Amino acid sequence: MTDPKVTIAIEAALNAFSKYGNFEATAFTEVFNEVFASGEDFMAKTNMLDEIFDDYPELEALREVFFDLLLINFFSADVKKLEEDYLDSPEWEEIEEQTLDRGTELLNLLLYLNECDEEDIEPGLEDYLKEFLLVDEDEFQDEYRIYEPVIANQILVDSPVGEIGKAAAQVPEDSELKELFYPMMCFFQNTAPSAEEKTAIADQAPSKDFDMAVLEILTSFAE
């Protein structure tokens, strides 16, 4: 079972990865769809997903963001087939333990966009940081630490994409947001970019294929 938003996001990401890179990733659209729609349990689907990336290292840059999509799909579609309290079960706790080092902060952003959709509110960077991640609250200082590069550069949502590109180059290599900084900030600057605006974003992107794939995931969730 696949969430329609996730299906669209997979196709859009692979199209962008192909368009701005050197590998024909669109050929894998159906393969990924089969994994996401599979009736297997979450860990089995994770293993199936990893097998694709293991066999095709040209796709490696997308491994963890596709894991995020697999989780989002689980929360929005797969979990409906399970017991009501499954996410509080020892079984799910064990899965969380096994996958602690998987995925990226894209997961939180996609959860936020789903919440925006449900509550019919416009996504915004300040809203995401303060109302969703609660970075100003004392008990959420881990989130503050992770998002410090974004918090320090909030003004960039009103700046040209070239300025976002310059700031992305200054994000420390060990930051958990290093790879996501550019597409995330470009998204909050413009949540529904035109084809022309996407070209301008791609022109300044530190890693065109990855950045544009992530941007396409975000814009497809924001539609």
Q: pLDDT tens digits for 59-79? A: 999 999 999 999 999 988 877
Alpha helices in the chain (DSSP H): 4-19, 29-37, 42-55, 63-76, 90-98, 106-119, 125-127, 141-146, 148-151, 161-170, 181-189, 195-204, 208-222
14-26: pLDDT as tens digits:
999 999 999 999 9
> What pLDDT, on a 0 to 100 scale, did the predictor assign at position 18?
98
Select the more confidently predicted residue: 81 or 192.
192
Q: Does the pLDDT of residue 138 top 90, yes or no?
A: no
Q: Answer yes or no: is pLDDT of 48 > 90.
A: yes
Mean pLDDT of the 104-110 span: 97
pLDDT at residue 158, rounded to an integer: 94
Q: State the pLDDT at residue 124.
A: 97
Kindly report the pTM of this predicted structure. 0.95
Q: What is the pLDDT of residues 164-190, one digit of tens each?
A: 999 999 999 999 999 999 999 999 999
Confidence of residue 161 (pLDDT cuts 50, 70, 90): very high
Helix (H, G, I), strand (E, B) or coil at 173: coil
pLDDT at residue 83 above 80? no
Q: Quick one: tokens of 178?
A: 């290093």
> What pLDDT, on the 0 to 100 scale, is given for residue 87?
85
Which band of pLDDT confidence, cut at 50, 70 and 90, is reported for residue 92?
confident
Instruction: Report d(CA 47, CA 50) in Å as an integer.
Output: 5
- C-beta separation of 186 from 217 below 8 A: no
Question: What mean pLDDT, rounded, does the chain reach?
Answer: 94
Q: 88: buried, middle or exposed (CB in 10 Å: 19+, 13-18, 0-12)?
A: exposed
Which pLDDT value is given to residue 208?
A: 97
How many other CB atoms sit within 10 Å of the CB of residue 194? Answer: 9
- Look at residue 1 and tell me whether its pLDDT is greater than 90: no
Model confidence at 121, pLDDT cuts 50, 70, 90, reads very high
Torsion-angle region of residue 83: left (phi > 0), alpha (psi -120 to 50) or beta? beta
Mean of the pLDDT values across residues 93-119?
94
Nearest C-alpha neighbor of 52 from the set 14, 20, 15:
14
